[in-house]
Structure 1
C-alpha cells in the first residue's frame, strides 16, 4: 500500500459545512511535501460526525486532487460488521485505493470475533484493508497472534495501524506478522512511537503530526530507510515537543487549532468535540514558532 508517512488528514468545516476550499489547500500542502499516502475520514477526520453525502464529496474531491499520485485510504470502520461493509463498498465504488477499518468498539469482540470481522469484510471486497488497532479508544486490543493470523489468512488485508503504546506488543506484532507474511505492513498509529516502530522493523506511520509538519515526518522515515539512524533519531527528538503538544487534548482538537494558527483552516469542530482551550492555543503557538512552522 505505502511505506513511509500516511497523513490522517483533518476534515475542515466552516459554518457547519464541509470547507472543501481549505481542504484542497491542505491536501496540496501534503502532496508538495512528499507524504506517501492520505487517510481520509479516520479519527482525525471526525468520521463519526460526517454524513454519507459528505463522505462521498470528501473522498471524491480527494481522489480528484491526488490524481493517482499517492494512495487514498478511506476510514470505514464501525462497530457493526454490516455497516462497515457498506462503507467499504462506498469507498470501493468511489475509487479509493484502500480502507482503514478500526476494530469494533464498545461491543468488545473476542480475538476470534476480531478475526471473523476482518475475514467477513475481506471476502467481500478487492480493496486493500488496513486493520486499525487503537485500544485506548475502542476498548479492544488486537493481540500479535491475532494480527499474525489475519496476515497469514486474509491476503487483501495489507497491514495494521498499531496505535497501542506498548513497545513490547509493537515489537511482537511486527515480528509475528512479518513471519506470517513478508509483505504485511505495520505502521505506527502514534507519532511519538514512529522511530521505535521503525527500529523494530515496521514500515512507517499513519500520522496526525504530518498534517502540520509533513516534510519533517517524511524526513524522519526517509532518513531511517536510507540507513541514517542518527539523523532519523535527531528529527524524532526535534519533533517531540510538537508531537506532545498535538495530543494535550483529544485528537483532532489540537491539530485543528494548529492548522488554524498556520492559516490553513477554520478552528471548527463538530460536537461533541469543541475547539481547544486558550491554554492549549498558547502552547501550540509557542511550539509552532519554535519548530519554524509559524
Structure 2
C-alpha cells in the first residue's frame, strides 16, 4: 500500500484581515498554531480562505507566505480554483514555483460545464503543470457536480492524486473506494470536505478531511483522526460527540464568518471579512460560544 500524499487533518485556513488588508502577523500565528496541534497539512486560499473575494495578487502572496512559514513542516495545498482553465493553469504554475506540495482545484463555477468539459479541464491543468492535484467537488457552491465516473477517469492521470469530496454522500465514497484504481491502496486519496460526516467518510474508505473546524479546534480534530486511524471507534465517537455542535455552528452563517468570530474570541485575529460576506450575526454567536466550550476550544 502507498501512503497518500495528502491525508489526515488538513486545515482549510481562514485568511485573517485587518483594516482591509491581509493580516500577515495573524496569519503566521494561525499557521503556527495548526502546526503545533499536529495537523498534517493546510490549504491556503481555498473557499474558507476567501479566495473568491481576494485579489489575485493577495491570493498569490498568501500562498507564498504559507509555504515560507510552513517550511516543510506540514504539506501545503494551494487553492487554485477559477472558472477559466487558463487562469487555473497560471495559479497552479505559481503554486509550483513557490514550492507548494500540491494544488486544490474546485470544479469551475458558474459556467456549469458538462462532464466531458470537466474532464478536459482537469486533464488540461494536469498536463500543463507537473504538480500533484487534488480535485474539489462541492456542487452546492459551484452549480456542477463531478460525477463518480468522471472522477474515476481523472484518477488515472498520474498528476491527479485525490479528491476533496464535500457532498457528504457516504454511498459515493464507498463507490469510489471500490471502483477507482488507487483509492484502496492509497495512490488516490479520498478526502472528506464535510466535517460533520468525517467519521463516516473514513469508515467508508476516506483517508482524511479538509477541515473548517480545525481552524478553531485543531487538537480535537487531530485526536479524532488519530482514533480513527487506530481503529478505536469508541474514542472516535467520543471526540465526534464533543465536536458535532461546533461542526454545525460553523455553518450557521456564511462560512468563514463563524470561524472568524470564533478565532477572534480566542484572540487570534479580527472578525473582519471581505464583502460580499459580512460578520456573523449576533444571534449565532451564543450558539458558537457554547459549541466552542463543548469542543474544548475556549
Instruction: Please confirm whether the aligned pair reaches a TM-score higher than 0.5, indicating the same fold.
Output: yes
How do residues 72-91 of structure 1 correspond to structure 2 at under 5 angstroms?
Answer: 72-91=76-95
| Matching of residue 165 in structure 1 with residue 168 in structure 2 | yes
Cα shift readout 1:223-261 (whole Å, capped 9, x = no counterpart)? 111121221122112210110111111111111111111
Q: Is the 8 A contact 2:184 2:205 kept in 1?
A: no
* 2:210 alignment partner, SS class: strand
TM score, norm. by length of structure 2? 0.95
TM score, norm. by length of structure 1? 0.96
Distance 1:165 1:124, change over 3 A: same
| Matching of residue 251 in structure 1 with residue 264 in structure 2 | no
Distance 1:114 1:242 in 2: 34
**Does 188-197 or 222-231 show the bigger shift?**
222-231
User: Which residue is 1:109 aligned to?
Assistant: 113
User: Which residue is 1:177 aligned to?
Assistant: 180
User: Which residue is 2:234 aligned to?
Assistant: 230
The alpha carbon displacement at 1:170 in A equals: 2.5
CA RMSD of aligned residues (A): 1.3
**Does 233-242 or 28-37 show the bigger shift?**
233-242
The alpha carbon displacement at 1:148 in A equals: 1.0
User: Which residue is 1:26 aligned to?
Assistant: 30
Among candidates 285, 290, 298, match of residue 286 of structure 1: 290
Q: Is the 8 A contact 2:177 2:183 kept in 1?
A: no
Q: Is the 8 A contact 1:188 1:204 kept in 2?
A: yes
**Does 5-14 or 249-258 show the bigger shift?**
249-258
Q: Which runs of 4+ in 1 moved over 4 A?
A: 178-181
User: Which residue is 2:10 aligned to?
Assistant: 6
Cα shift readout 1:150-184 (whole Å, capped 9, x = no counterpart)? 112x1110100000122222321232224677310
How do residues 17-166 of structure 1 correspond to structure 2 at under 5 angstroms?
Answer: 17-152=21-156, 154-166=157-169
Cα shift readout 1:255-293 (whole Å, capped 9, x = no counterpart)? 111111111110000000000011111211222123322
Cα shift readout 1:125-158 (whole Å, capped 9, x = no counterpart)? 1111000000000111111111111112x11101
Distance 2:45 2:191 in 1: 17
| Matching of residue 265 in structure 1 with residue 269 in structure 2 | yes
Q: Is the 8 A contact 1:151 1:181 kept in 2?
A: no
* 1:84 alignment partner, SS class: helix
Where in structure 1 are there 5+ consecutive unaligned residues? Answer: none
* 1:49 alignment partner, SS class: coil
Among candidates 274, 281, 296, match of residue 277 of structure 1: 281
**Does 134-143 or 221-230 show the bigger shift?**
221-230
Distance 1:85 1:168 in 2: 32
Q: Is the 8 A contact 1:224 1:232 kept in 2?
A: yes
Where in structure 2 are there 5+ consecutive unaligned residues? Answer: none
Distance 2:168 2:74 in 1: 28
